[in-house]
Amino acid sequence: MTSARLRRLCLALPGAEEVVQWGGVHVFKAGGRMFATLSPEGGALRHVAFKASPESFHVLTEAGSFMPAPYLARAQWVATDDLDALTDAEWRGYLVRAWRLVVLRLPKRLRAPLLAAADAGRMRA
């Protein structure tokens, strides 16, 4: 997986937008809420963090390639510098789930059109 492909995966999700903030961190949001970040690491975008379910948080952090994300671990965010920690399909699955976790917490007026767009596109994860 490359950082460019991760960006494309995030931006392909309904309503996803990218904002660069905090000194060059690419923050991916849906409905104004973060679901993933891609940060500079050693001159390249290599540090990835995303929202995880409680179960995925436990599995990913126990496996060793992921750690609790600094400042966001309490909200079940995980982080890694290893873009090869997961297969492309696994990355897609976790990013779709991160997006969905965030979207499900939006007010109904924002949530409904995003979920409808996801269902119309048959987004799976």
DSSP per residue, 11-37:
HTSTTEEEEEETTTEEEEEETTEEEEE
Contact 103, 115 (CB under 8 A): yes
Mean pLDDT, all residues of the chain:
91
CA nearest to 1, candidates 109, 86, 63:
86
pTM of the model: 0.90
What pLDDT, in 10s, does the model give residues 62-93?
Answer: 988 899 998 899 999 999 999 999 999 999 99
- Residues 44, 105: Cα–Cα separation, whole Å: 32
